[in-house]
């Protein structure tokens, strides 16, 4: 098995781009479920990002047992809403476009003083060695009063990052990667992989 070939267990093109952007410079060949011609609807029954990430990775690894699988489960947690939408970030208002989802979050905060929020990313690695691994990254910020910026995807345009002094939607890919939840989880993943490459 080539330790430099990985399959990203996602159909989200935004996520796939981020993984490629971070892993390909390290010499990894990154493919998607579509590249591998795998169609699977994984039932995310976990109660945490970590559990759902591992469920996805295990399901895909069962289909592609000779491949290294990387799966991500991530989402937005708005503190005044009790961490909502959390693990339901992608499924919140399912079928609706993200501009409507973003506005719905803003509307729910209209009477709230606390606009703090965080993104969490849990990245699972299976098939690299004998172990199952989960790496977790978080980034903290605030929900903006309106969407700003056309960069990124999902809830990025309403997430204001104090680190960058702009929303993720206004940030360049490199700026976002440097402070994002997925960037931080991927950094841990990279360090583990580099330390254990034969």
Q: What is the mean pLDDT of the chain?
A: 93
Would the pTM of this model clear 0.85, i.e. be above it?
A: yes
One of 3.90.950.10, 1.10.3720.10, 3.60.20.10, 1.20.58.220 is the CATH number of 5-196, namely 3.90.950.10
| Residue 88 banded pLDDT, cuts 50, 70, 90 | very high
* 45 neighbors 38 (Cβ within 8 angstroms): no
State the CB neighbour count (10 A cutoff) for residue 163: 13
Cα atoms found within 13 Å of the Cα of residue 147, Cβ hemisphere only: 19
Q: Which residues are catalytic?
A: 73
The C-alpha atoms of residue 72 and residue 180 are separated, in whole angstroms, by 14
The answer to whether residue 2 scores a pLDDT higher than 80 is no
Q: What is the sign of the dihedral through the CA atoms of 89, 193, 139 and 32?
A: negative
User: Would you list the domain boundaries of the chain?
Assistant: 5-196
Q: Which DSSP string do the residues of 90-111 spell out, in sequence order? A: TTTTTTS-HHHHHHHHHHHTTT
- By the 10 Å C-beta count (0-12 exposed, 13-18 middle, 19+ buried), 168 is classed as buried
Over residues 96-114, mean pLDDT: 97
The answer to whether residue 190 scores a pLDDT higher than 90 is no
Q: What is the sign of the dihedral through the CA atoms of 90, 119, 121 and 177?
A: positive
Query: Tens digit of pLDDT for each residue in 157-169?
Result: 999 999 999 999 9
Query: Tens digit of pLDDT for each residue in 143-153?
Result: 999 999 999 89
Helix axes 13-23, 181-196, angle to 10 degrees: 40
Q: Which of 35-39, 45-49, 54-58, 110-114 has the lowest mean pLDDT?
A: 35-39
| Residue 140 banded pLDDT, cuts 50, 70, 90 | very high
């Amino acid at each position: 098995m080539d330790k430099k070939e990985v399959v990203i267990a996602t159909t989200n093109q935004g996520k796939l781009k981020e993984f490629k952007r971070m892993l390909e410079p390290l010499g990894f060949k990154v493919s998607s479920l579509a590249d591998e011609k795998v169609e699977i609807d994984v039932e995310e029954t976990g109660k945490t990002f970590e559990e759902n990430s591992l469920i996805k990775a295990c399901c895909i690894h069962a289909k592609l047992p000779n491949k290294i699988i990387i799966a991500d489960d991530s989402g937005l947690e708005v503190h005044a809403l009790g961490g909502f939408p959390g693990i339901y970030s992608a499924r919140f208002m399912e079928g609706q476009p993200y501009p409507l989802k973003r506005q719905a979050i803003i509307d729910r905060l209209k009477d709230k003083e606390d606009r703090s929020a965080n993104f969490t990313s849990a990245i699972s690695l299976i098939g690299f060695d004998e172990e199952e691994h989960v790496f977790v990254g978080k980034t903290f910020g605030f929900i903006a009063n309106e969407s700003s910026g056309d960069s990124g995807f999902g809830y990025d345009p309403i997430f204001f990052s104090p680190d960058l002094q702009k929303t993720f939607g206004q940030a360049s890919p490199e700026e976002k990667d440097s402070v994002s939840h997925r960037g931080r989880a991927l950094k841990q993943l990279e360090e583990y992989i580099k330390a254990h490459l034969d």
